[in-house]
Amino acid sequence: MNARETLKINSLGHLSIGGADATELAKQFGTPLYVMDEQYIRDMCAAYAAAIRTDYDGNGLVLYASKAFSCMAIYKIVQQEGVGVDVVSGGELYTALRAGFPAEKICLHGNNKQPGELALAVENGVGLIAVDSYSELDALDALCAKQGKKQDILLRVNPGVEAHTHRFIQTAKTDSKFGFSVADGTAEKITAYALTKRNVRLQGYHCHIGSQIFEKQSFALAAQKMLAFMAQMRAKLGFTAAALNLGGGYGIWYTDEDAKLAVPDYTEYLRTVIAAVKEHADALSYPRPYLYIEPGRSIVGEAGVTLYTVGAIKDIPGVKKYVAVDGGMFDNPRYALYQAKYTALLANRAAEPASERVTVAGKCCESGDIICADVDLPPVKEGDILAVLSTGAYNYSMASNYNRNAVPPVVLVKDGQAEYIVKPQSYEDIVRNDVIPARLQ
């Protein structure tokens, strides 16, 4: 599967999401509003889990990379689908634990984990920690010794496959703040060092080659390089890794340009990974490792739509037409960060053909506060409900209170019914942690 199935045009010519009329959602909950389709998320989790069962004898686990979208309800949903999670901070870990997520199915990542984050993880018994530095390994070993625990770990390794949306490159030595490089021997050194640590159990390796990647070969190449490295460690250090985590990064649909590149069914990415792991493990007579994969964007991205109300419209003759909405970089900073592209449409006139090219701007005091540049829409009027598609990943999770705008609420839609999973922020919420010291009174 891949989405678009969640979006329909109903008999009134309105956009519907998971069976709910988007214009009604805008009326009921106000705008800006994040809308997430529960069934889409469940179907994606189930499809990935099924691929591991059928193609890899169930010898693995899907970990949802929750940095893509994190709130308590999402952990419940993925838990119910039999999927584990990745967390990359104490805050995400705390959110998962507060939602009752089983700690043994949590993997903690991060290139600079803080002592408090490691302590929270070890105390609560998280299943795996992906270690990314010597000092972290030392700190974790000492912490486990103190607590009388033995922690399962992976080492973050950099296999030298650098993948981008439209291409991938093999690099001898990759410039990255993440991981230990295979090429320069540091991955081998940290392996030898980790094996001397008595309070951690080295289960294997982790790599993650990038995000929004369409080329299946880059995932296959990463699997091949990781297995070659693992076979080397077996030969040199006598260490056979039980587990291999090949990360996420599967590319999704944002625009029709992506549609030409993306695989039609996102489980194809995973099937390619599995086929490569089997092929290279078998060729090296290496026991097939327990396999983790960590899709984030592809589980939640297309499940999400953001609804806005159109406000001021500014036509600059011969230049462009700006359509301002009641959101902005505070709910979606991805254009400001990397000129991300999106598809937008008018939810209240979804069947009307596009006839003009506009740039959708936000309400923040920044010229770069753009939601999407150059999108084709029917003639836009003030009061229209604008829907921006594929905003389920890295939108809410990257939201801020810039300009002291409230982070919009999130509603979850199932069978046409919507309810909050993240409530709206009030102005009072915005000043909640502000303090005026007595001497300023």
Ligand X SMILES: *Cc1c(COP(=O)(O)O)cnc(C)c1O
Which residues would be at the binding site for ligand X (CB under 6 A)?
Answer: 65, 67-68, 86, 109, 208, 211, 247-250, 294-298
Residue 329 CB, shortest distance to ligand X, in Å, is 20
The catalytic residue positions are 365
Nearer to ligand X, 60 or 362 (CB): 60
Q: How far apart are CA 298 and CA 390, in angstroms?
A: 10
Nearer to ligand X, 93 or 375 (CB): 93
Residue 262 CB, shortest distance to ligand X, in Å, is 13
Nearer to ligand X, 208 or 225 (CB): 208
Nearer to ligand X, 296 or 408 (CB): 296
Nearer to ligand X, 84 or 296 (CB): 296
Q: How far apart are CA 70 and CA 95, in angstroms?
A: 8
3-state SS of the chain is CCCCCCEEECCCCCEEECCEEHHHHHHHHCCCEEEEEHHHHHHHHHHHHHHHHHHHCCCEEEEEEHHHCCCHHHHHHHHHCCCEEEECCHHHHHHHHHCCCCHHHEEECCCCCCHHHHHHHHHHCCCEEEECCHHHHHHHHHHHHHHCCCEEEEEEEECCEEECCCCEEECCCCCCCCCEECCCCHHHHHHHHHCCCCCEEEEEEECCCCCCECCHHHHHHHHHHHHHHHHHHHHHHCCCCCEEECCCCECCCCCHHHHHHCCCCCHHHHHHHHHHHHHHHHHCCCCCCEEEECCCHHHHHHHEEEEEEEEEEEEECCCEEEEEECCCCCCCCHHHHHCCCCCEEEHHHCCCCCCEEEEEECCCCCCCCEEEEEEEECCCCCCCEEEEECCCCCCHHHCCCHHHCCCCCEEEEECCEEEEEECCCCHHHHHCCCCCCHHHC
Residue 219 CB, shortest distance to ligand X, in Å, is 11
| CB crowding 95-132: b at 16 or more within 10 Å, else e | bbbebebeeebbbbbbeebeeebbbbbbeeebbbbbbb
Q: How far apart are CA 330 and CA 396, in angstroms?
A: 9
Nearer to ligand X, 157 or 325 (CB): 157
Nearer to ligand X, 29 or 335 (CB): 335
